[in-house]
Amino acid sequence: MSAFITEHKTLLMILLPIFLVGYFLPTIISFVLKGEQKSKIFFANLISGISWFAWFSVLFWAIRGSKSVSNNNDEKTIAE
């Protein structure tokens, strides 16, 4: 195994960050959209990568988790 790592070090240095960003994409989206349930999405994302269905569910949760609505200059958060 160590021979594989030493021979393909450059490839691993490129693919590992791409894999990690893809794996934690729901968490990244949640932080960018300033979702209220960031920590819950992170922990669900951490264990959901085993199943594609669970990963896509967490991704959907991160995108659609909460929306901000402005009404009379008061910002309210509506959970869906």
- Reading phi first (left if > 0) and then psi (alpha if -120 to 50, else beta), residue 69 is in beta
Residue 70 β-bridge partners = 75
- Looking at the predicted structure, is the pLDDT value of residue 27 above 80? yes
pLDDT for position 80: 45
Report the predicted TM-score, pTM, of the whole model to 2 decimal places.
Answer: 0.64
Query: What does the pLDDT read at residue 51?
Result: 84
- Mean pLDDT (whole number) for 12-32: 91
Q: What are 36's two structure tokens?
A: 């209220």
Q: Count the domains in the chain.
A: 1
Q: Which domain holds residue 39?
A: 2-79
How far apart, in whole angstroms, are the C-alpha atoms of residue 60 and residue 6? 38
Per residue in 34-79, pLDDT (tens digit) is 888 889 999 998 888 778 888 899 999 999 875 554 455 555 555 5
